[in-house]
Amino acid sequence: MAKLYFRHGAMGSAKTLNLLAIAHSYEMQSKKVLVMKPKLDTRFGVGLVTSRAGLEREADVLLTGESVFTSEQFFGVSCVLVDEAQFLDPCVVERLRQVATIQGVPVMCFGLRTDFRSRLFPGSQRLMELADSIEEVKTTCTYCSRKAIMNLKSVDGKATLTGPTVCLGAEELYVPACYQHFCEKIIAATGRDSDFDAHWLAGLQQPRAFAHSSLLSLIRQHPPPVSTQGPAAESSPSYSQISHIINIV
């Protein structure tokens, strides 16, 4: 059985350059590769797989949520390479998993792990759930020498956590950042401490601004109700006990 690979990295970590290098290596050995990418990614032209270093090639297959594969597509193929895999529909990830399992062709997917709000892309999440091998393509923070793990979005020179998750317009700028500088830039621009923006706990649609004091301090000042009877008294705080703090701020 061949493997499904997910190689993720922050913006500017040469993921596409790695993909193109692998394709070139296979083809130098007269081996056939299939290069795929999501159809919605048209930043550098429709159907083009382009690295920031200037190298590019045509994609063999443009993927949508309705994409299906046939065994004939993979006859004689030594490897499948997928660029911008974070934009894949989870169903397509599952079909690529079957390509590796049933067709016996290794599938290597390259993409971002999380968006500019630090949330997993649906395609990336499914890849992390199904991939045989998960590897990080490393790069350094734009503002220091630490490893970049975040994707910082700026609009008009200011960091932001707002806007659509998938936004390919030229007015937005995404740079790799370490977690410390990601937080510092967000705080300076929005006044929100991204460390403790726990609106997702309550399933809120819009972020709620938090003071710069830590969530731990708030919990100490306003301890949640804990049962003093039965097994619950010895267990970890429940969801309701933790989430009550959201209503305080």
- Active-site residue, 84 included: yes
**Nearest alpha carbon to residue 194 among 183, 203, 185, 204:** 183
Query: Measured between alpha carbons, how far is 90 from 82 in angstroms, rounded to an integer?
Result: 14
Going from the C-alpha of 66 to that of each of 83, 90, 99, the distances in angstroms are 18, 11, 16
Q: What angle do CA 73, 77, 83 make, to 5 degrees?
A: 85
- Nearest-angstrom CA–CA distance, 249 and 245: 7
Cβ 135 vs Cβ 19: under 8 Å? no
What single DSSP character describes residue 90?
H
CB atoms within 10 A of CB 177: 27
| Nearest-angstrom CA–CA distance, 177 and 139 | 9
Q: How far, in Å, CA of 109 to CA of 37, rounded?
A: 9
Q: How far is Cα 62 from Cα 232, in angstroms, rounded to an integer?
A: 53
How would you classify the pairing of strands 56-58 and 48-50? antiparallel
Task: Please give the Cα distance from 2 to 102 (Å, whole number).
Answer: 8
Annotated catalytic residue within 27, 84, 171, 172: 84
Tokens of 17: 């350059």
Residues catalogued as catalytic: 84
